[in-house]
Structure 1
Amino acid sequence: MSTRDRIVEAAFSLFEEQGFEATTVEDVAERAGVGRTTFFRHFRAKEDAVLPDHELVVAAVDARLAQDDALATRVAAAARLVLEHYLEEGERARVRYRLSTSVPAIRRSEAAGQRAYQRTFKTAIKAELGSAVEARLEAELVANAVITAHNFVLRRWLRGETEDPFTEFDAAMVRATQPLHPERLATHHPDAHAVEAARRALPVLEELLPALRRLSDH
């Protein structure tokens, strides 16, 4: 096990055992068998030791979005990479979720990661649809719908409310990316297409908003 992995394992264990506030960097370093200086070579603060490597996952999402298959397929597959990352973490993802409800620093970091994913999706969609105002609106709507749908399914899994997150996720992505499916895209003037596609996106987003509001209450 690498030094970094030992620090991460120590942080997760200690935060669960004695709480985030009661655990110091020195506690984590001692449990990991390293010095304080070594800890700070790997992490800026103790909360960073339990955060996902968002930069790595964003890079994988960006690479998937850059492929040349259908836009809706790319967006759904790229979002699935994010879900897979959390599910592969298993219990660690659930520990982080519990911590995020009481530790503002972790909650802020997770929110910043979500904004990075949202920007990545929006940029890819906009690159395909063009820079017209209506196209930018559609990119914004769909990118937010994708993140909302992903978070809804992920949090159901984190809370133990679903044993089949991938099936739920695939169904959610069909709805979130509906305006991007080829059969739904108009073939006439780009501006007119963007207006029509954005109009179609609104009901989809409206269906997801109640879930978003429920999530914001937790």
Structure 2
Amino acid sequence: MPATSTARDRMVAAAYELFEENGYDETTVDQIAERAGVGRTTFFRMLGSKEAAIFPEHDVLTARIEARLAAATPRTRQLAIFEAARTVLDHYLAEGELAQARYRLTRTVPALRAREIAGMQRYQQIFREHLAGWLGEENALLAEVGANAVVTAHNHVLRRWLRGLTEEPHAEFEAAMEQLTALLGTAVRQAGEGASFAATPAAGGSVVLVLPSELSPEQAADAVRAALS
């Protein structure tokens, strides 16, 4: 551990070492504090529990995601979704072996797995809330599906990296998000441009689609394709 490391860094490192050596359930707070060179009171003041030593600072990550999505304009929403999702991926990649050790622990300790799922659900909720605000109440289902898809795309790539199945997580993430954009992007873009999503069935199996006059031909074509699909 570098001399410049913080007390929190030392406690996290000590916790992982002991979890690997003795097992999660068998490791005590006192053992972690002793190896990190801090007191028991310091441990509880800075971390609060053994679980808190395992997971990244979700409050910090969620604040970054919230800020990026909130800063999006109608024409930059797709980019905001991409960058917000990549924020989480980049955090785990930067952790390196620490993230891989966490993955091993969460696969074997049910309580840690439950907390990991709760964290993913929080990220999903943030995306859902912003998508719902952009798309409108009439597209609540699309917002729900979109949020699920964003988190799923991120997790798919992250797990492949954690399992050693890819050495190019950023490239795979970009490819996954491109596929997602093909499914979700048109709707998000049209909502930002004021397009109507009301496709009304007409006689003879036709569809009547109302679009704003300022749409470009390409945008109008995208809207038609979306309605017919």
TM-score surpassing 0.5?
yes
8 Å CA contact 1:125, 1:139 repeated in 2: yes
Counterpart check, 1:160 vs 2:167: no
Question: Which residue is 2:147 aligned to?
Answer: 143
Question: Which residue is 2:91 aligned to?
Answer: 85
Amino acid at match of 1:84: D
Question: Which residue is 1:52 aligned to?
Answer: 56
Question: Which residue is 2:196 aligned to?
Answer: 189
Q: Deviations over 1:18-68 (max 9, x none)?
A: 211221111101101112121111222212111111111111111111222
SS at match of 1:185: helix
**Worse-superposed segment, 44-53 or 155-164:** 44-53
Q: 1:44 to 1:191 in 2, by over 3 A?
A: farther
- Please give the residue correspondences for 1:107-126 in structure 2 after superposition, counting only pairs within 5 Å: 107-126=113-132
Matched pairs, number: 196
Q: Which runs of 5+ in 1 are unaligned?
A: 204-218
How far off is 1:185 after superposition?
3.5
- Please give the residue correspondences for 1:57-68 in structure 2 after superposition, counting only pairs within 5 Å: 57-67=61-71, 68=73
8 Å CA contact 1:149, 1:173 repeated in 2: yes
Question: Which residue is 1:215 aligned to?
Answer: none
CA RMSD of aligned residues (A): 2.3
Question: Which residue is 1:27 aligned to?
Answer: 31
Return the alpha-carbon distance in structure 2 between the equivalents of residues 142 and 25 of structure 1.
40
Q: Which runs of 5+ in 2 are unaligned?
A: 200-208, 210-221
Return the alpha-carbon distance in structure 2 between the equivalents of residues 28 and 113 of structure 1.
24
Return the alpha-carbon distance in structure 1 between the equivalents of residues 46 and 98 of structure 2.
19
Return the alpha-carbon distance in structure 2 between the equivalents of residues 63 and 99 of structure 1.
31
Counterpart check, 1:5 vs 2:5: no
How far off is 1:174 after superposition?
1.3
Return the alpha-carbon distance in structure 1 between the equivalents of residues 69 and 87 of structure 2.
11
**Worse-superposed segment, 8-17 or 153-162:** 8-17
SS at match of 2:137: coil
Please state which structure has a larger fraction of its residues in helix: 1
Aligned counterpart for 1:97 among listed residues 94, 100, 103: 103
Return the alpha-carbon distance in structure 2 between the equivalents of residues 174 and 94 of structure 1.
26
How far off is 1:105 after superposition?
1.8
8 Å CA contact 1:50, 1:96 repeated in 2: yes
Amino acid at match of 1:141: V
Aligned counterpart for 2:18 among listed residues 9, 14, 17: 14
Return the alpha-carbon distance in structure 1 between the equivalents of residues 42 and 27 of structure 2.
17
User: Which structure carries more relative contact order (alpha carbon 8 Å, separation 6+)?
Assistant: 1
Q: Deviations over 1:123-168 (max 9, x none)?
A: 1111111122xx1100000100111111010000000000000000
8 Å CA contact 1:71, 1:180 repeated in 2: no
Larger gyration radius, structure 1 or structure 2: 2
Return the alpha-carbon distance in structure 2 between the equivalents of residues 122 and 191 of structure 1.
21
SS at match of 2:48: coil
